[in-house]
Every structure is written in structure tokens, then in C-alpha cells.
Amino acid sequence: MESASKRVDMVPAKRRAIILEHLRANGAASVQELADATGGSQSTARRDLEYLMEKGYLERTHGGAHLVQPARATFERENSLNAQLQRAEKLAIGREAASRLSAGHSVILDSSSTVMEAVRAAAERDLPLTIVTNSLEIADFAADIRSWRTIMPGGSIRAGYRHLAGEPGESFIRTLHADLCLMGASAVTGTLLTEASLEVASLKRAMIASAGRKILLVDSSKFTSPSFCTLCEVSEIDEIITDDAVGAEALAPLRAAEKPVTLVPVQRVDGRPFRRAGGVVSQAIASPAFR
């Protein structure tokens, strides 16, 4: 474990992610508890809380804070902060998703942080791949892997986000016939997948239409109320990979739709997750073992 003296110097995004994870595990916390969790001072914790409150992540209470369900359907987590949240879950989901890739595959990758973890895990397997991505982060990572051919579809960079959207990328993607698409979603509600951005939803629909097999990578926090615009129904997705904290109520509609779901175990201590060294729970929703 990092010492407190080292933790004080951590980047703000990581510090704020620790605060949100602490609140997710405990429901609410005092300023002192959050300062202890990050190894910083109370004044730093207060500044982080004010920042997170202004962005819509939480509500302040007397002497502390608690998490809230975002009030805006257009709510989007900041890139740097989102990458630090649900880290253990994303690592486990990404590693499982990477096992779906084979040498010579062509794969379309969106810009979600969980897909980024699948890319890192795939790199460890040293497979020759052709990848198409709108993510500047994934493209930058892939540029150093000699066995990968990396294609970016073009478009405009969304302000505040490290990815491309719009034309000409969307039209280009619709001309492709890739083997696989790995993608995320802002929310899974029943059998509906939604996004907070119209541009992102439109681009992802093009990705879905251009791949033979579509796999959705979402951690359990994404099973929530719908975001601003419809992406698609889960009937258009071939498999969902998520972590084992998803509740039975959220899984019930997927069971009714006979949608294959892979539940990746993430070991937890005192409510806080950390990635198990190996192992996966893979269950088709329609199978007797899941009923």
C-alpha cells in the first residue's frame, strides 16, 4: 500500500476517484475520513468535494458528502476521472474481453475506458490485429505495437474528450466489415443501451452495423437509469461482459431476452474491490445454471 506521504502528491483525478470510490463503498463520509482515504489534508479534501459537487458527482452534507444519481441525462464523467473509477472491475472485464480476440482479427474499438483496458490486455498477447478506433488514447497506445495495423476514421475531437466523432469518420466506419466490435455504453437500463451524447451514439451505431460480432463492456455501475439518447437494444449485441456486482434485478431483463452475459469476479474486501488474479464466471442468461 502507498504511504500517506506518497499519496499526497497523487494527481487530482486519482484523488477524486478515491473519494468517489470511498463514497460508493460507504454511502457517505466526513471530510476527515476522505482526507485519510487520500492521504491529503482536510482543505484539499474540501476543494475536491466542491469540485465534484459542481460537476454533479455528489452532494455535500454537514461535514462531509454522499453520492447522488446524476440529475442530468446528458451527464458525462470527465475522461481523466472516469479512467480511475471502478479500476479493478475495468481491468478484469478488459482482460476477459481480450480473450475473445484471435490472430488476424479486425476489431472496431470505441473510446471507453473499459475498452482501453481490453486493448492493454490484448497487447500482452502479442496478436497480429487490425484495429479501427476513434480513441486518441487507444491509437497512441497501439502506435507502438508493431503487430497491429491501426486505423483512425477521422472526425472532430470533442472538447474535453480524447476521441473523434462525426464526419467523415462515421461514414467511413459504415463501409467496413470488421470481425468484432468492443464497445461501452453510458447506461444499461433493462434491455436498452443509452449514451449521453448524440454524436457518440450515432458513431457507435455505425460501429455496431459494421462488425460481425458485437461485445458490450460495462462495469456494474452502468446498470442505471437511461442517459440522454438511445444507442440500441441489447438484441443488437452478441455478448455483455460485466463484473459480478450486478444485481439480480438488473440482470432479469437480459435473462428474459436470452442475452449471453459473462460475469467477471472481482474480489472485494470491506466493500472495496480489487482484481482477482484469475478466474471468470461465464453464464449464458438462458442457461439452467443461471435460473
Task: Specify burial of residue 38 (Cβ count, 10 A radius: 0-12, 13-18, 19+).
Answer: buried
Give residue 138's pLDDT.
Answer: 97
Cα 94 to the center of its chain, rounded Å = 9
Give residue 1's pLDDT.
Answer: 39
Residue 280 clears pLDDT 50, i.e. is over it: no
Give residue 119's pLDDT.
Answer: 97
Stretch (H or E) spanning 4: helix 4-7
Instruction: Indicate the residue type of 65.
Output: A
Residue 187 clears pLDDT 80, i.e. is over it: yes
Give residue 219's pLDDT.
Answer: 93
Q: What is the mean pLDDT of residues 194-215?
A: 96
CB atoms closer than 10 angstroms to residue 156: 13
- The more confident residue out of 270 and 228 is 228
Give, to the nearest 10 degrees, the angle between helix 42-54 and helix 12-26. Answer: 80
Give residue 115's pLDDT.
Answer: 97
Distance CA(65)–CA(122), nearest Å, equals 38
Q: What is the mean pLDDT of residues 67-82?
A: 61
Distance CA(201)–CA(145), nearest Å, equals 29
Q: What is the mean pLDDT of residues 174-181?
A: 98
Q: Are 189 and 225 within 8 A, CB to CB?
A: yes
- The more confident residue out of 64 and 154 is 154
Per-residue confidence band for 82, with pLDDT thresholds at 50, 70 and 90: low
Q: What is the mean pLDDT of residues 91-107?
A: 97
Q: What is the mean pLDDT of residues 214-239?
A: 95
Q: What is the mean pLDDT of residues 10-22?
A: 80
Helix, strand, coil content of the chain in percent (nearest 5): 40, 25, 35
Give residue 186's pLDDT.
Answer: 93
- The more confident residue out of 205 and 87 is 205
Distance CA(66)–CA(46), nearest Å, equals 13
Q: How far is CA 16 from CA 1, 40, 58, in A?
A: 18, 11, 11
Give residue 78's pLDDT.
Answer: 64
Give residue 63's pLDDT.
Answer: 77
Give residue 152's pLDDT.
Answer: 97
Residue 142 clears pLDDT 60, i.e. is over it: yes
Q: What is the mean pLDDT of residues 168-197?
A: 96
Residue 29 clears pLDDT 60, i.e. is over it: yes
Give residue 72's pLDDT.
Answer: 53
What are 48-57's contacts with CB under 8 Å, separation 24+?
Answer: 48/12, 48/15, 48/16, 48/19, 49/19, 51/12, 51/16, 52/16, 52/19, 52/20, 57/20
3-class DSSP assignment, residue 246? coil
Give residue 291's pLDDT.
Answer: 27
* Mean per-residue pLDDT of the chain: 84
Residue 19 clears pLDDT 50, i.e. is over it: yes
Going by C-beta distance under 8 Å and a sequence separation of 6 or more, which residues neighbour residue 8?
A: 39, 40, 41
Residue 109 clears pLDDT 50, i.e. is over it: yes
Residue 15 clears pLDDT 80, i.e. is over it: yes
Length of the chain: 291
Per-residue confidence band for 87, with pLDDT thresholds at 50, 70 and 90: confident
Distance CA(173)–CA(152), nearest Å, equals 10
Of 110, 291, 107, the closest CA to residue 212 belongs to 107
Distance CA(76)–CA(58), nearest Å, equals 14
DSSP string of 151-192? E----EEPTTSSBEESTTHHHHHTT--EEEEEE--SEEETTE
Distance CA(250)–CA(224), nearest Å, equals 8
Distance CA(108)–CA(177), nearest Å, equals 10
